[in-house]
Structure 1
Amino acid sequence: MRPRPGNGGRSAQRPVPAPPPGRHKRLPLEPRPASRTAILLRRLTVRLGSTRLGRRSASLLALAVVGGFSVYGIVLGGHVEAAKEIGLDVADAAGNVAGFKVKEVNISGHNHVTPAEILEAAGIKSSTSILFVNADETRARLEQLPWIQSASVRKFYPDRIDISIAERQAFALWQSGGEIRVIARDGTPIAPYSDDSRYLQLPIVVGEGAEKRVGDIVDALARLPALRDQVRAAILVAERRWTLKMRNGIDVRLPETGMDEALVALMDLDRDKKLLSRDITIIDLRLPDRVVVRLSDAAADARAQMLKARAKAKKGGPA
């Protein structure tokens, strides 16, 4: 029979016999003092084991202790994320047995995002228990989807979740690096471009950084609808100023500052001089006191011939 533990929590030691001659002497292992938690767990397990119900509880307690050491090993081994997934699945199963399985998910406000994409982002599966759905974390995950600007998640016990979302609106098409993407007003890329009829009438901006300043040029052109309808695309040059590509092939170079005034001056010139209808390739509005235009090659040749003929006529020579 083993000696019972004394008041100090240590077991009495038997005398250690002397080692045989010719062997190294090994010191006896000093037993580690039991922690207060270990002593309490031991006593609780012994007491619970005295009854039938207690034996089941004792088994659960033992599993919990073993599970605790397993989790400790998982943390040391660097498998925390996998362990969290397993732990959540186990917790969901326990919650479902208790009657808290999610049976109904109501989704509203979606148009471009499908219900399947919303459920996947929210992490809600057929085995999810409402007890372990964190509404704030779920909302944050939903708002990481490009189309979703804001979301709200509400839990109704025992088995219903309501998800309401507000989607971003397609504002313009942005071309950069050979790709065209649909962007929101704040410049957030929300979808790759497709031939969807909803995107055909969107304004087009081109260049690095153009998505961040798209609101400026779109709003400026919206105040001059007659001009806006003639613009094919707006190109941001060196992330400082815009050049308008007109549908008839003319480039309109706008100044870095005073863009609104330059656009109004352009409309005045077009009304009085039909400037946008002439055979020119570039209209430069970057100088505050003048407008510089560049003729097309054909127009430049025709003008050169006309000036040459006019000069000869003044000298009285043959044309």
Structure 2
Amino acid sequence: MRSLIARKSSVPAQPVAPHDPAPSRLSYRVQRLWLTPVFRKALNIGVPLFLLFAAISWYLSDEERVASLFDAAYEIRREVENRPEFRVNVLGIDGASEDVTEEVRAALAIDLPISSFDLDLEELRGRLEALPAVRTADLRIQTGGYLAVRIDERRPAALWLTHEGLSIIDHEGHFIAGFGQRELDGPLPLLAGEGADLAVPEALELIEAALPLGDRVHGLVRMGERRWDVVLTNDTRIMLPETGARGAFDRVLALHDVGEILSRDLTAVDLRNPGRLTVRLTDGAMEEFRRIRALVANGTSGENQG
């Protein structure tokens, strides 16, 4: 036993390694990461946000709680919208005739008082401009709960006769109303024929040129959607060309001023050929013309025989 102890004591002692103060690789990387500003901001902000998101998600996972939140928000919104300062109490319509005003009120269908938040002005404007008699509409909510509606109304310019009946149209040819559905301020020129609504400005120009004829003009007929015939009350037709209709009509009026050509027994004055004016006589006038021509022919033959 003693020899064993003596043998162990004879073994030299191993030196103890000194403690290394340097951090481990993992600790070093964590410290470097913590010193990064982006990481610190992400940790300081991201973790609270994540916890907040988790709490909100947990709260909203209950359908009853979600429904109660929506109900509360809706009640708050309705309380704000129904306050007196946001309420519309009066509707004013300007620029429209009495008949169109009634149509506008019916198209708006607003039950006053109403919250201004419940009014879609663009949708209401679209409703009004869909009315045949309305060109444009402008809607504004003014102070004092006043809804101002400004109407640019289509003005009747002519009556248009088609197979479907008689219609009132404006100077652009837009349909306004059926005849008898709108009160007119005075008589309107009568247009007829397919495509007459597409050439209303030219027709109105011809009507203006025919003012010297007074009430002898019955109306205008669109022929082949290309040109106009001016129809007089004695059924005489002035057949105008496709182009230069106003100039041709002025020439006829000048001839009438000189020789009362439109007061004669004519059924038509044809101006379709720019270089030639052709007239068509009535049956009675043709018979008289043939009789006179026969008398002239007989008288000439008698003189030759003599």
When the two structures are superposed, what TM-score results if normalisation uses the length of structure 2? 0.71
1:135 CA drift (Å): 2.0
1:251 aligns to 2:237 (yes or no)? yes
Per the alignment, residue 13 of structure 1 pairs with none
Q: Which has the larger radius of gyration?
A: 2
Whether contact under 8 Å (2:90, 2:112) holds in the other structure is no
Deviation track 1:159-193 (CA, whole Å, cap 9, x = no partner) reads 33111112111111111124111111111110111
Deviation track 1:218-237 (CA, whole Å, cap 9, x = no partner) reads 11331342136421110010
Give structure 1 regions of 4+ aligned residues with deviation exceeding 3 angstroms: 37-42, 61-64, 92-101, 112-116, 156-159
Pairing of 1:1-319 with structure 2 (within 5 A): 40=56, 42-44=58-60, 59-61=67-69, 97-99=82-84, 100-126=86-112, 128-156=114-142, 159-194=145-180, 198=184, 200-227=186-213, 229-316=215-302
Whichever residue aligns with residue 117 of structure 1, its letter is E
Flag the 1:295–1:38 CA change in 2: closer, same or farther, 3 A. Answer: farther
1:307 CA drift (Å): 1.3
Flag the 1:119–1:194 CA change in 2: closer, same or farther, 3 A. Answer: closer
Flag the 1:239–1:114 CA change in 2: closer, same or farther, 3 A. Answer: closer
Flag the 1:194–1:276 CA change in 2: closer, same or farther, 3 A. Answer: same
Aligned-residue identity in percent: 28
Whether contact under 8 Å (2:205, 2:246) holds in the other structure is no
1:45 CA drift (Å): 6.9
Give the unaligned 5+ runs of structure 1. Answer: 1-36, 50-56, 65-89
Please give the alpha-carbon distance, in whole angstroms, between the structure 2 residues aligned to 1:204 and 1:194: 14
* Larger helix percent: 2
Q: CA RMSD in A?
A: 3.4
Flag the 1:199–1:98 CA change in 2: closer, same or farther, 3 A. Answer: closer
Larger mean CA deviation between 204-213 and 116-125 belongs to 116-125
Deviation track 1:175-213 (CA, whole Å, cap 9, x = no partner) reads 112411111111111011129773652111111110111
Larger mean CA deviation between 160-169 and 215-224 belongs to 215-224
Please give the alpha-carbon distance, in whole angstroms, between the structure 2 residues aligned to 1:38 and 1:240: 77
Per the alignment, residue 6 of structure 1 pairs with none
Flag the 1:246–1:120 CA change in 2: closer, same or farther, 3 A. Answer: same
Please give the alpha-carbon distance, in whole angstroms, between the structure 2 residues aligned to 1:308 and 1:39: 117
Whether contact under 8 Å (1:130, 1:158) holds in the other structure is no
Give the unaligned 5+ runs of structure 2. Answer: 1-52
1:131 CA drift (Å): 0.7
* Number of residue pairs matched by the alignment: 250
When the two structures are superposed, what TM-score results if normalisation uses the length of structure 1? 0.68
Whichever residue aligns with residue 138 of structure 1, its letter is L
